[in-house]
Structure 1
Amino acid sequence: MFVTPAFAQAASGGAAGAFTSFVPLILIFVIMYFLLIRPQQKKLKEHKAMVEALRRGDQVLTGGGIVGKVVKVHEDGIVDVEIADGVKVRVMKSTIVQVMSKTEPAAA
Protein backbone atom coordinates (compact mmCIF):
# COMPACT_ATOMS: atom_id res chain seq x y z
CA MET A 1 0.00 0.00 0.00
CA PHE A 2 1.34 3.31 -1.03
CA VAL A 3 0.69 6.61 0.79
CA THR A 4 -0.03 9.47 -1.54
CA PRO A 5 1.90 12.71 -1.00
CA ALA A 6 -1.34 14.61 -0.22
CA PHE A 7 -2.11 12.43 2.81
CA ALA A 8 1.46 12.68 4.02
CA GLN A 9 1.40 16.49 3.88
CA ALA A 10 -1.94 16.79 5.67
CA ALA A 11 -0.76 14.67 8.56
CA SER A 12 2.09 17.05 9.43
CA GLY A 13 0.28 20.22 10.55
CA GLY A 14 1.07 20.60 14.22
CA ALA A 15 0.30 23.85 16.02
CA ALA A 16 0.02 25.91 12.85
CA GLY A 17 -2.84 23.72 11.60
CA ALA A 18 -4.71 24.09 14.89
CA PHE A 19 -4.38 27.88 14.83
CA THR A 20 -5.58 28.20 11.25
CA SER A 21 -8.68 26.19 12.11
CA PHE A 22 -9.60 28.76 14.80
CA VAL A 23 -9.07 31.82 12.59
CA PRO A 24 -12.62 31.72 11.12
CA LEU A 25 -14.13 31.49 14.63
CA ILE A 26 -12.07 34.46 15.78
CA LEU A 27 -13.12 36.48 12.73
CA ILE A 28 -16.79 35.65 13.31
CA PHE A 29 -16.53 36.82 16.93
CA VAL A 30 -14.84 40.08 15.89
CA ILE A 31 -17.52 40.76 13.27
CA MET A 32 -20.31 39.98 15.78
CA TYR A 33 -18.71 42.34 18.30
CA PHE A 34 -18.60 45.28 15.90
CA LEU A 35 -22.03 44.65 14.35
CA LEU A 36 -24.09 43.62 17.40
CA ILE A 37 -22.47 43.98 20.80
CA ARG A 38 -20.77 47.37 20.48
CA PRO A 39 -23.80 49.26 19.08
CA GLN A 40 -26.03 47.74 21.76
CA GLN A 41 -23.66 48.86 24.52
CA LYS A 42 -23.56 52.36 23.02
CA LYS A 43 -27.37 52.49 22.90
CA LEU A 44 -27.63 51.40 26.55
CA LYS A 45 -25.11 54.04 27.56
CA GLU A 46 -27.07 56.77 25.74
CA HIS A 47 -30.35 55.61 27.35
CA LYS A 48 -28.78 55.68 30.80
CA ALA A 49 -27.51 59.23 30.21
CA MET A 50 -30.94 60.31 28.96
CA VAL A 51 -32.68 58.86 32.02
CA GLU A 52 -30.19 60.47 34.41
CA ALA A 53 -30.76 63.87 32.73
CA LEU A 54 -34.55 63.82 33.30
CA ARG A 55 -35.93 66.83 35.10
CA ARG A 56 -39.23 68.49 35.89
CA GLY A 57 -41.12 69.77 32.85
CA ASP A 58 -39.70 67.30 30.30
CA GLN A 59 -42.27 65.68 28.03
CA VAL A 60 -41.57 61.94 27.87
CA LEU A 61 -42.78 58.79 26.16
CA THR A 62 -42.98 55.62 28.27
CA GLY A 63 -42.52 52.05 27.13
CA GLY A 64 -46.29 51.56 27.30
CA GLY A 65 -46.92 54.39 24.86
CA ILE A 66 -48.03 56.99 27.39
CA VAL A 67 -46.97 60.57 26.70
CA GLY A 68 -46.81 62.92 29.64
CA LYS A 69 -44.94 65.65 31.45
CA VAL A 70 -42.50 64.93 34.29
CA VAL A 71 -43.84 66.49 37.49
CA LYS A 72 -41.36 65.16 40.03
CA VAL A 73 -38.16 63.11 39.90
CA HIS A 74 -37.57 60.88 42.93
CA GLU A 75 -34.16 59.64 44.11
CA ASP A 76 -35.08 55.94 43.98
CA GLY A 77 -35.52 55.73 40.19
CA ILE A 78 -39.18 56.72 40.09
CA VAL A 79 -40.70 59.64 38.20
CA ASP A 80 -44.14 61.19 38.58
CA VAL A 81 -45.62 61.82 35.12
CA GLU A 82 -48.73 63.90 34.52
CA ILE A 83 -50.68 62.37 31.63
CA ALA A 84 -53.74 64.65 31.88
CA ASP A 85 -54.87 67.55 34.03
CA GLY A 86 -54.69 66.29 37.59
CA VAL A 87 -53.82 62.71 36.60
CA LYS A 88 -50.37 61.68 37.79
CA VAL A 89 -48.75 58.30 37.29
CA ARG A 90 -45.62 56.94 38.96
CA VAL A 91 -43.27 55.42 36.42
CA MET A 92 -39.87 53.75 36.71
CA LYS A 93 -37.13 55.81 35.06
CA SER A 94 -35.95 52.79 33.08
CA THR A 95 -39.32 52.50 31.30
CA ILE A 96 -38.97 55.94 29.73
CA VAL A 97 -38.14 55.38 26.08
CA GLN A 98 -37.77 58.88 24.73
CA VAL A 99 -37.70 62.49 25.84
CA MET A 100 -40.03 64.30 23.46
CA SER A 101 -39.10 67.83 24.50
CA LYS A 102 -36.62 69.11 27.05
CA THR A 103 -37.12 72.08 29.30
CA GLU A 104 -34.48 74.74 29.49
CA PRO A 105 -32.45 74.73 32.70
CA ALA A 106 -33.23 77.52 35.13
CA ALA A 107 -30.86 80.48 34.91
CA ALA A 108 -28.61 80.62 37.94
Structure 2
Amino acid sequence: MQLLAVPMASSGGGGGFTLLLPLILIVGMIWFMSRTQRKQRQKQADTVAALTPGTKVVTTSGMVGVVEEVDDEYVTLEVSDGILVQFVKAAVGRVLPDDEPADEAVEAPAADPVEDRVTDEVAERDTVDVPETGEAKAQDKKLPPTHTEN
Protein backbone atom coordinates (compact mmCIF):
# COMPACT_ATOMS: atom_id res chain seq x y z
CA MET A 1 0.00 0.00 0.00
CA GLN A 2 1.38 3.35 -1.05
CA LEU A 3 0.28 6.76 0.21
CA LEU A 4 0.73 9.66 -2.10
CA ALA A 5 0.99 13.24 -0.80
CA VAL A 6 -0.84 15.61 -3.07
CA PRO A 7 -0.29 19.33 -2.49
CA MET A 8 -3.42 21.47 -1.80
CA ALA A 9 -4.47 23.90 -4.49
CA SER A 10 -3.69 27.52 -3.57
CA SER A 11 -5.42 30.67 -4.71
CA GLY A 12 -2.30 32.05 -6.30
CA GLY A 13 -1.19 34.61 -3.71
CA GLY A 14 -4.44 36.68 -3.58
CA GLY A 15 -5.33 35.40 -0.10
CA GLY A 16 -3.83 38.39 1.71
CA PHE A 17 -5.89 40.90 -0.23
CA THR A 18 -9.16 39.00 0.25
CA LEU A 19 -8.56 39.02 4.01
CA LEU A 20 -7.81 42.75 4.06
CA LEU A 21 -10.76 43.82 1.89
CA PRO A 22 -13.48 43.37 4.60
CA LEU A 23 -11.26 45.13 7.14
CA ILE A 24 -10.75 48.07 4.76
CA LEU A 25 -14.50 48.28 4.13
CA ILE A 26 -15.33 48.28 7.86
CA VAL A 27 -12.78 51.01 8.60
CA GLY A 28 -14.16 53.07 5.71
CA MET A 29 -17.75 52.76 6.96
CA ILE A 30 -16.75 53.78 10.50
CA TRP A 31 -14.84 56.79 9.17
CA PHE A 32 -17.77 57.88 6.99
CA MET A 33 -20.31 57.55 9.84
CA SER A 34 -18.13 59.49 12.28
CA ARG A 35 -17.63 62.23 9.69
CA THR A 36 -21.41 62.56 9.24
CA GLN A 37 -21.99 62.72 12.99
CA ARG A 38 -19.26 65.32 13.37
CA LYS A 39 -20.96 67.50 10.74
CA GLN A 40 -24.31 67.18 12.53
CA ARG A 41 -22.75 68.13 15.88
CA GLN A 42 -21.06 71.16 14.29
CA LYS A 43 -24.36 72.27 12.71
CA GLN A 44 -26.11 71.93 16.10
CA ALA A 45 -23.33 73.91 17.82
CA ASP A 46 -23.61 76.68 15.20
CA THR A 47 -27.40 76.82 15.67
CA VAL A 48 -27.06 77.12 19.45
CA ALA A 49 -24.30 79.73 19.17
CA ALA A 50 -26.47 81.90 16.91
CA LEU A 51 -29.42 82.10 19.34
CA THR A 52 -30.59 85.64 20.01
CA PRO A 53 -33.63 86.97 21.90
CA GLY A 54 -36.75 86.92 19.73
CA THR A 55 -35.82 83.77 17.79
CA LYS A 56 -38.49 81.06 17.49
CA VAL A 57 -37.09 77.62 18.32
CA VAL A 58 -38.23 74.03 18.77
CA THR A 59 -36.55 71.98 21.47
CA THR A 60 -35.58 68.34 21.06
CA SER A 61 -38.60 67.39 23.18
CA GLY A 62 -40.97 69.30 20.87
CA MET A 63 -41.54 72.44 22.97
CA VAL A 64 -41.99 75.55 20.82
CA GLY A 65 -41.00 78.92 22.21
CA VAL A 66 -39.41 82.29 21.66
CA VAL A 67 -35.93 82.93 23.06
CA GLU A 68 -36.05 85.51 25.84
CA GLU A 69 -32.55 85.22 27.31
CA VAL A 70 -29.35 83.34 26.48
CA ASP A 71 -26.78 82.49 29.20
CA ASP A 72 -23.57 80.46 29.04
CA GLU A 73 -25.31 77.12 29.69
CA TYR A 74 -29.03 77.87 29.54
CA VAL A 75 -31.59 79.47 27.27
CA THR A 76 -34.88 80.89 28.56
CA LEU A 77 -37.89 80.37 26.30
CA GLU A 78 -41.30 82.00 26.46
CA VAL A 79 -43.67 79.13 25.63
CA SER A 80 -46.87 81.06 26.24
CA ASP A 81 -47.79 84.61 27.25
CA GLY A 82 -45.84 85.27 30.45
CA ILE A 83 -44.67 81.65 30.91
CA LEU A 84 -40.87 81.32 30.85
CA VAL A 85 -39.10 77.96 30.82
CA GLN A 86 -35.36 77.44 31.13
CA PHE A 87 -33.64 74.80 28.96
CA VAL A 88 -30.08 73.61 28.50
CA LYS A 89 -28.69 75.04 25.26
CA ALA A 90 -28.16 71.55 23.84
CA ALA A 91 -31.93 70.96 24.06
CA VAL A 92 -32.60 73.44 21.25
CA GLY A 93 -33.35 71.29 18.23
CA ARG A 94 -33.92 73.75 15.42
CA VAL A 95 -34.72 77.37 14.68
CA LEU A 96 -38.06 78.16 13.05
CA PRO A 97 -38.11 80.66 10.19
CA ASP A 98 -40.12 83.81 10.88
CA ASP A 99 -42.75 82.97 8.23
CA GLU A 100 -43.38 79.40 9.55
CA PRO A 101 -46.26 79.13 12.06
CA ALA A 102 -45.11 78.00 15.49
CA ASP A 103 -48.07 75.66 16.14
CA GLU A 104 -48.26 73.82 12.82
CA ALA A 105 -49.34 70.54 14.42
CA VAL A 106 -52.39 72.05 16.16
CA GLU A 107 -55.51 71.84 14.05
CA ALA A 108 -58.68 73.85 14.55
CA PRO A 109 -61.48 71.82 16.15
CA ALA A 110 -64.43 70.90 13.95
CA ALA A 111 -67.44 73.17 14.27
CA ASP A 112 -69.98 70.34 14.30
CA PRO A 113 -69.97 67.60 16.94
CA VAL A 114 -69.20 64.10 15.71
CA GLU A 115 -72.79 62.96 16.17
CA ASP A 116 -74.07 65.66 13.80
CA ARG A 117 -71.60 64.72 11.07
CA VAL A 118 -72.47 61.01 10.97
CA THR A 119 -74.77 60.23 8.07
CA ASP A 120 -76.59 57.15 6.93
CA GLU A 121 -75.31 57.49 3.36
CA VAL A 122 -73.31 54.29 3.06
CA ALA A 123 -73.47 54.21 -0.74
CA GLU A 124 -70.72 56.85 -1.01
CA ARG A 125 -68.36 54.71 1.05
CA ASP A 126 -68.81 51.58 -1.07
CA THR A 127 -66.63 52.89 -3.90
CA VAL A 128 -63.04 54.04 -4.02
CA ASP A 129 -61.39 56.10 -6.74
CA VAL A 130 -58.50 54.23 -8.32
CA PRO A 131 -55.59 56.70 -8.63
CA GLU A 132 -54.21 55.27 -11.89
CA THR A 133 -57.44 55.32 -13.88
CA GLY A 134 -59.72 57.67 -11.94
CA GLU A 135 -62.55 55.13 -12.12
CA ALA A 136 -64.70 54.17 -9.19
CA LYS A 137 -64.10 50.62 -7.98
CA ALA A 138 -66.29 48.70 -5.56
CA GLN A 139 -64.53 47.47 -2.47
CA ASP A 140 -64.52 43.70 -2.44
CA LYS A 141 -63.81 42.88 1.15
CA LYS A 142 -64.43 44.40 4.54
CA LEU A 143 -61.76 44.97 7.16
CA PRO A 144 -61.64 42.62 10.15
CA PRO A 145 -62.76 43.98 13.51
CA THR A 146 -60.11 45.77 15.52
CA HIS A 147 -61.27 44.37 18.86
CA THR A 148 -63.11 41.37 20.22
CA GLU A 149 -66.43 41.52 22.02
CA ASN A 150 -67.12 39.58 25.18
TM-score by length of 2: 0.55
1:85 maps to a residue whose letter is D
Q: Which residue of 2 aligns with 1:23?
A: 21
The structural deviation recorded for 1:25 is 1.4
Tell me the distance in 1 between the aligned counterparts of 2:40 and 2:10: 50
Question: Structure 2 stretches of 5 or more lacking a match?
Answer: 99-150
1:54 maps to a residue whose letter is L
> Counting strand residues as a fraction of each chain, which structure ranks higher?
1
Alignment partner of 1:53 is 2:50: yes
What are the within-5 Å matches in structure 2 for residues 68-87 of structure 1? 68-75=65-72, 77-87=73-83
Q: Which residue of 2 aligns with 1:65?
A: 62
Q: Which residue of 2 aligns with 1:98?
A: 94
In structure 2, relative to structure 1, the CA distance for the partners of 1:25 and 1:71 (3 Å cut) is: same
Alignment partner of 1:38 is 2:35: yes
Tell me the distance in 2 between the aligned counterparts of 1:27 and 1:2: 42
Tell me the distance in 1 between the aligned counterparts of 2:5 and 2:54: 82
Pick the structure with greater CA Rg. 2
2:53 maps to a residue whose letter is R
2:29 maps to a residue whose letter is I
Give % identity.
Answer: 34
1:44 maps to a residue whose letter is R
- Report runs of 4+ in structure 1 exceeding 6 Å deviation: none
TM-score by length of 1: 0.74
* Corresponding residue SS for 2:31: helix
> Counting helix residues as a fraction of each chain, which structure ranks higher?
1
Structure 1 residue corresponding to 2:84, chosen from 80, 85, 88:
88
Instruction: Return the structure number with greater relative CO, CA threshold 8 A, min gap 6.
Output: 1
* Corresponding residue SS for 2:37: helix
Tell me the distance in 1 between the aligned counterparts of 2:39 and 2:4: 60
Question: Structure 1 stretches of 5 or more lacking a match?
Answer: 103-108
Tell me the distance in 2 between the aligned counterparts of 1:28 and 1:3: 40
Q: Deviations over 1:7-42 (max 9, x none)?
A: 1647x96xx7445412211122213432x2221211
* Corresponding residue SS for 1:101: coil
